Amino acid sequence: MGFSKMMQGDLTGADPYYARLVKSGSEYPYLWAQMSELEVKRKNFEKAVELATAGYDRHKSDSKLAADDVTQILIAYDDFPGDHRDEMEKWQSKRTELRPDVAWFWGDHARFRLYFMFDYEGAIKYGTKALSLMRYGMGESYLAAAYFLKWALLKDAPTTKADAEKAFQSGREIDPSGSSIDRFFYYYPVLRPAREQALARLKSDGKTLR
């Protein structure tokens, strides 16, 4: 099987299997997503997006399969060099339109808004929606981090100080120790000042794990 070969690291051995399926007009529903995944492993990100988009075009009438294809598009874009934020935003929105019942899709949209766009309001919006569907740890981390970022960016302006404090309290209610920003903000240099400020504030309140 091509997929098992790919999972075993045999990227060349998977090609003939998938080529036969395409040539035969196979209706195997995960064919295009798996071929896309193969190209991601090869770091052929443009081809990966092309294949997953082809799968999406074939599965538009099936929201579950179409959402699976969109997920593969987003996986490819995550590592695709260059600025693809507009395309990623389009596909993030498309996926939640297809499957508005899936908390993880809303949470991943929150992650995108926060770490790719540095848009705390968007991250709060989508993170809140995710947790309204299901409480789960990663979703809580994204939402808390968005609140802490909002606090860090608004706290020094007199006109937004009150809103900043509300945001801080909301973040602390979800994540009293600040583990969300300690874990995630470190990897984004632009967010490191917010990380240090929020952790220092939590430490002064006696709330951090440090």
Q: Concatenated DSSP letters for 110-146?
A: HHHHHHTT--HHHHHHHHHHHHHH---HHHHHHHHHH
Q: Residue 11 pLDDT more than 90?
A: no
Average pLDDT over residues 173-202: 86
At residue 23, the 3 state secondary structure works out as helix
pLDDT band for position 5 (cuts 50, 70, 90): very low
Contacts of 208 (CB under 8 A, 6+ apart): 177, 178, 182, 199, 202
Q: Which fold has domain 1-99?
A: 1.25.40
Closest CA to 147 of 101, 210, 131, 75: 131
Per residue in 112-124, pLDDT (tens digit) is 999 899 999 999 9
Domain ranges for the chain: 1-99, 123-210
What pLDDT does residue 9 have? 45
**pLDDT at residue 187, rounded to an integer:** 79
pLDDT at 154: 95
What's the predicted TM-score (pTM) here?
A: 0.86
Q: Which pLDDT value is given to residue 210?
A: 45
- Mean pLDDT is lowest, of 17-21, 37-41, 175-179, for 17-21
